[in-house]
Amino acid sequence: MFAYIIRRLIGAVVMLLLVSLVTFGIFFWLPKLAGQTTDQIAASYVGKAPTAEAIQDTKERLGLDKPVVVQYGNYLKALAVGKDYKAGPVTDHCPAPCMGYSFRSSQPVLETLLDRAPATLSLAIGAAIVWLGVGISTGVVSALRRGSVWDRASMIIALAGVSLPIYFTGLVSLALFSYTFKIFPGGGSYTSVTDNPLRWFEALVLPWVTLAFLYAAMYARLTRAGMLETMNEDYIRTARAKGLPERTVVTKHALRASLTPIMTIFGLDLGLLLGGAVLTENTFGIPGLGRLAIDSIRSGDLPMVLGVTLLTATSIIVINLIVDLLYAVVDPRVRLG
Amino acid sequence: MTGTAPAAETAGTGDAPASFLEVRDLKIHFPTDDGLVKSVDGLSFQLERGRTLGIVGESGSGKSVTSLGILGLHNKRNADVSGEIWLDGKELVGASQAEVRRLRGRNMSMIFQDPLSSMHPFYTVGHQIIEAYRVHNDVSKAVARKHAIDMLGRVGIPKPDKRVDDYPHLFSGGMRQRAMIAMALSCDPELLIADEPTTALDVTVQAQILDLIRDLQQEFNSAVIMITHDLGVVAELADDILVMYAGRAAEYAAVDDAFHRPLHPYTWGLLGSMPRLDRERSERLLPIEGSPPSLINVPSGCAFHPRCPYSELNGDRSTTERPELIELEPGHKAACHLPLEKRREIWNDEIRAKL
Ligand SMILES: Nc1ncnc2c1ncn2[C@@H]1O[C@H](COP(=O)(O)OP(=O)(O)O)[C@@H](O)[C@H]1O
Ligand code: SF4
Ligand SMILES: [Mg+2]
C-alpha cells in the first residue's frame, strides 16, 4: 500500500512537471518556433496597443531574450517559489505559484483565480452530487429491469440528456422555471455562499440540475452497462447460491464492483469541471473560472488564460490522484497486487 | 460400489417421493432470439443422503443448467423451468423464490468450476464465508468468524486464523477451491452440488480436492452431485452415474454397471475417449467423432444419431423416433433403440476389446 501511494505521488508530480512543460511550450516557445520575434511575443503580453517602451519592459521582465531552457527554469521557479518584479523604484513580490499579472486588471493572476474558484467549485460539486445520485440509481434500476418500460423510458431520456447541449437545456430551464413560473432566480444572480447561503442555493439550483442532467444521463448509461456486465459475473451467482437476499446481492456484491470503473471517469469529469464549466457558467451568468477563461481569451489576456489552463490541469491531476488512492481502498487487488 | 439407480416410476405423479432428492421430468428452456434453447429436456433422477451421483457428458450437454436449476438460480424472465424437484419432501419448481432462497446455502449448496471468478475480488475469504453463515444463522460476527476459521481448517487450509483475512487472489488455485468448499459447507447442507470442481485446477491438486470432497461427504453425510466431463472422477467418487446428452439422460446406472456393462453407444464413446492411468500412454484415445448438437435444432429421433456408428441398425427408428430411457436391467437404464442382445454383443465383441 505504501509503495503504491509513493508511486502514485511520484506519478502526479511528473504529470505536473509535464503540464508545466507543455504550457510553457504552448505559451512561450511555440510562438518563437512559429517565427514570431521576441518583440511580437512580448507585445502579446502587454495588452492592446502596446508602446515600444512597454514591449521592451515586458521582454526584460519575462526574460524573453534568454535561452529557452533558462526561460523554462524561470517559469518553473516562479510557479514554485514566486517571483519579484521590479516596477520602477518598488519591487512587487508575486507569491507562488506565480503566474504573472493580468494585463487587463493588473491583478496577480492567482488572486483572480482564487476569487473565481468558489463559484465554479459550488457549481461542480453540487452538480456532481446530483448526477451521481440520479445517474447511478437510474442505471441500477434500468439494469435490473432490463427491457422494461422504465428501462426504455429512462434510456431514451438519457440519450436526450447526452445529446442536448447545455446552452439549450439551460436556456429552456431558465425560460420555464425562472421567467415563466418564477420559481428560481434568473441568470446572473449568483451570490457567494458566505454572503447569503439561501440566495446562493436558489441561484444554483437550475445550473446544478442543468449540468447534472447531462452527466446523469452519461452515468446512467455507464452504470447500466456496468451492472449488466457485473450481474453476469460468477461471483454474483455464488452470492445467490449462498442464499443472500437479492437486495444484498445487488448492492453489496454487484454495485460495488460496477462502481469502480465509474470512479475513474468521475475523477476526470470532476477535475475538468473544476477548471470551469464554461457553457453552464456562461448560460447562467455565473462568475466562475469558465467565464474567466472565455473572457480572457476574448481580450487576449494571456497570463490569465495560462493561469486557468494550469489550474484545470492541476485539478485533474490532483483529483485523479485521489481517485487512484480511493481505488486502492476499494479494490484490494490494486493495493496488494 | 453397490449403486442401485433408480426406479423413477413415480415420475410426474406430483406425490412426494421417498428419496431425499428426486428430479422428475425437469425441463429448462431458454427462449432466445435464435430460437428455443432446450438445455434440459426431460430429465429424471434421484439421490439419497450419503450417496454421490455423477453427471457426465460433453460440454454443452446441460449439466450446469441442471444444477443451477436445482438451486433455483435461473432467472424466471429468461428461462422456462418445468417438472418437479423434490428436496427432502419439498417441491422446489413451484415454490416461491423466497422459499428457495432460504434453502440455498443452508440445505443445498454448490461448488463452482472456477474458484477465482466465483469469489468476490473485493471481500476477504473470511468475510465471504461469514456472510454465507450469517445469512442463515442468527449469530454474532465474532461467532461466525470463529466458525469460518474452523471451516477453513477443516478443508485443510494451513494457518486458517491468518488466511481468513486474506483476499481470494492471494490464495493458490487449490487453496481457493478449498475455501469455496468451506463456504459451501459452512451451513452444513444436506445436498452439495459440485460443478466440475477440479477442471480449473492442476492435476496434482485435483486428486486432493476430490479426496477432500469424499471425506467431507462422509463426515457431513450429505448427498453429492458430482458434475464432470471426466469419467475418471466419477469412477473414483460416484455411486451412480447419469450420462447426459443434449439435455437428456442417455444412460443412468450404478457406476459399476456403467463402466463394465454400458448399454448406450454414447457411453461407449465416452469410455473410449477416456484417458486411463492403468494403460500405456502410447495407446491412442478414440474421441467421439463429430461435435455435440445445437440445443436449438436438436436432431430428430435419437439426438445422438448423426454421430452414432450404429444408427443404421434400427431401420429409420434412430432418425425418427426418440428413444425413451428404459430400465433394461435392475437399476440400469438407457435410451437407445438397439435390441438389448445386440448391444451386449457389440459391447463385448467390439468395444471392450478396444478400451
Ligand atoms: N441463459 C441461457 N440462455 C441461453 N442458453 C443457455 C443459457 N444458459 C445455458 N445455455 C445453453 O445451454 C446449453 C447447456 O449448457 P451447460 O449446462 O452450461 O452445459 P454443460 O454441460 O457444459 O455444463 C449450452 O448450449 C448453453 O449455451
Ligand atoms: S438410438 Fe440409434 S442413434 Fe441413438 S444411440 Fe441408439 S443406435 Fe445410436
Ligand atoms: Mg458446465
DSSP-derived letter for residue B168 is G
Q: Of A94, A120, A136, which one is at a domain's C-terminal end? A: A94
**Phi-psi domain of B226 (left: phi exceeds 0; alpha: psi -120 through 50; beta: other):** beta
Give the Cα separation of A91 and A72 in Å (integer).
Answer: 22
**pLDDT in the model for residue B275:** 66
Residues A87 and A113 grouped into a single domain: no
Q: Is the domain of A45 the same as that of A129?
A: no
Q: What is the pLDDT of residue A280?
A: 94
| pLDDT score of B128 more than 80 | yes
Between A329 and A134, residue with greater pLDDT: A134
Same domain, A88 and A115: no
pLDDT tens track for A125-177: 999 999 999 999 999 999 999 989 999 999 999 999 889 999 999 999 999 99
Any idea which ligand is nearest the CA of B112?
3
Q: Provide the whole-model pTM.
A: 0.86
A15 within some domain: no
Q: Please give the number of the atom of ligand 2 that sits closest to the Cα of B337.
A: 1
Same domain, A144 and A85: no
Which residues are B55's β-sheet partners?
B227, B242
Task: Identify whether A291 is part of a domain.
Answer: yes
* B132 interface with A at CB cutoff 8 Å: yes
**Count of structural domains within chain A:** 2
Reported as a pLDDT band with limits 50, 70 and 90, residue B9 is: very low
**Average of pLDDT values for B205-215?**
90
Please provide residue A244's backbone torsions phi and psi, each rounded to the nearest 5 degrees. Answer: -70, 145
Q: Which domain holds residue A274?
A: 109-330
Q: Do A214 and A72 fall into the same domain? A: no
**Which of B122, B123, B166, B199 to mutate to probe the A interface, most A CBs <10 Å?**
B122
Ligand 1 and B292: CB distance under 6 A: no
Q: Taking the CB of residue A228, how many other CB atoms lie within 10 A of it?
A: 16
Q: What is the mean pLDDT of chain B?
A: 91
Q: Same structural domain for residues A172 and A305?
A: yes
Question: Nearest residue CA, atom 3 of ligand 2?
Answer: B305
A55 with A134, same domain?
Answer: no
Averaged pLDDT, B128-156: 96
- Checking if the pLDDT of B10 tops 80, the result is no
Higher per-residue pLDDT: A35 or A175: A175
Q: Does B33 touch chain A (CB under 8 A)?
A: no
**Which ligand places an atom closest to the C-alpha of B65?**
1
Interface confidence, given as ipTM, is: 0.90
Q: Is residue A5 part of a domain?
A: no
Percent of chain A scoring above 90 in pLDDT: 56
From B41, B64, B195, give the residue whose CB has the most ligand 1 atoms within 8 Å, as the site to mutate.
B64
Rounded CA separation A229/A225 (Å): 6
For residue B106, give the nearest of B118, B88, B124 by alpha carbon.
B88
- Averaged pLDDT, B248-265: 96
Q: What is the pLDDT of residue B278?
A: 55
Task: Looking at the structure, tell me whether residues A42 and A118 fall in a common domain.
Answer: no
Does residue A97 have a cis peptide bond before it, meaning omega lies within 30 degrees of 0?
A: yes
Instruction: Establish if B110 touches chain A: CB-CB under 8 angstroms.
Output: yes
Q: For residues A228 and A141, state if they share a domain.
A: yes
Mutation choice for ligand 1 from B27, B30, B225, CB with most ligand atoms inside 8 A: B30
Ligand 2 midpoint to CA B242 (Å):
17
* A134 domain-assigned: yes
pLDDT for A88 beyond 70? no
Mean pLDDT, residues A192-219 taken together: 94
Whether residue A16 is contained in a domain is answered as: no
Q: What is the pLDDT of residue B12?
A: 56
- The answer to whether residue A102 sits within a structural domain is no
Q: Does B103 touch chain A (CB under 8 A)?
A: yes
Residue A6 lies in a domain: no
Shared domain check, A273 and A204: yes
Look at residue B3 and tell me whether its pLDDT is greater than 60. Answer: no
Cα distances (Å, whole numbers) of residue A286 to A105, A112, A150, A170, A203: 19, 15, 35, 12, 9
The answer as to whether A1 is a domain residue is no
Residue B180: closest C-alpha in chain A: A238
Q: Quick: pLDDT tens for B221-236.
A: 999 999 998 888 899 8
Q: Where are the domains positioned within chain B?
A: 114-188, 262-277+286-354
Nearest CA in chain B to A146: B77
Looking at mean pLDDT, say which of A85-89, A329-333, B303-307 comes out highest: B303-307
A307 and A177 inside one domain = yes
Please report, for the domain that includes residue A160, its CATH number.
1.10.3720.10
Ligand 1 pocket, residue B113 CB under 6 Å: no
Predicted local confidence at residue B2, as pLDDT: 44
